[in-house]
Amino acid sequence: MKKTVLSIMILMGITSPMVAEELHLFPTQATQEISKGIALIWGSEELNQDKSYSGDIVGVELSMPCRLLQGKQRPIRQQISLSRYDHHDKLITLGMNPHYIFQFTDQFQLGVGPSFEISYVDSDNTSKDTLMGVGVSGSLEKEFTNHIFFGMELGYTWLNDSDFQNFKAIGKIGYRIDNWNQLFK
């Protein structure tokens, strides 16, 4: 119970700047231009706070301006990731992660926001199953050139099966894309 109350308080603290700002539904343009990007992600995931179920995750992430909701003063970046955890159990997770962006310099930014996940689970203890979850995450990103960036992300997800609730620590290296057609030239 204490962890749940603490988690709710942290989520409220993280999202309170978003509530204070005027938000626009289905904006025609992002407040500040957010570049699209693609990144390789890797890291560690702990299931149900039990270190014996800690393992590596790898995946890919696409990022773009959120076309559902934008702040008047600060942009919201949508991150969509596909990752795989394979230790005692196998989880394949599709996540959607809108981050409210705090731009500290032209090259350094902090993002915070909720996460929504669908996980396919293949476990020794349970049959194959699909789980839904919500969570909270935060990220730091540093751009080293006009296109190359490095980042890290921390997040916690509550899934509808408590055995698979998880904490993730992720690193990422990515490429910012001004125009998606650049990928195919």
Query: Is 90 exceeded by the pLDDT of residue 4?
Result: no
Within the chain, strands assigned E span 23-25, 36-47, 54-65, 69-71, 76-86, 90-103, 108-122, 129-143, 148-159, 166-177
| Model pTM score | 0.75
Q: What are the residue boundaries of the structural domains of the chain, listed by start?
A: 2-184
- CB 54 within 8 Å of CB 88: no
Q: How far apart, in whole angstroms, are the C-alpha atoms of residue 45 and residue 5?
A: 22
What is the tens place of the pLDDT at every residue in 32-88?
567 788 999 999 888 765 555 678 899 999 988 877 666 666 788 889 999 998 776
**Do 96 and 74 contact (CB within 8 A), yes or no?**
no
Q: Tell me the pLDDT tens digit for each residue of 142-179.
A: 988 888 999 999 999 888 877 677 888 999 999 988 76
Query: Between residues 127 and 81, which one has the greater pLDDT?
Result: 81
Largest CA distance in the chain: 53
- Residue-level pLDDT at 180: 58
**Residue-level pLDDT at 1:** 47
Topology of domain 2-184, per CATH? Answer: Porin (2.40.160)
> What pLDDT, on a 0 to 100 scale, did the predictor assign at position 20?
47
- The DSSP annotation for 24-69 comes to EES-SS-SS---EEEEEEEEEEEETT-GGGEEEEEEEEEEEE-SSE
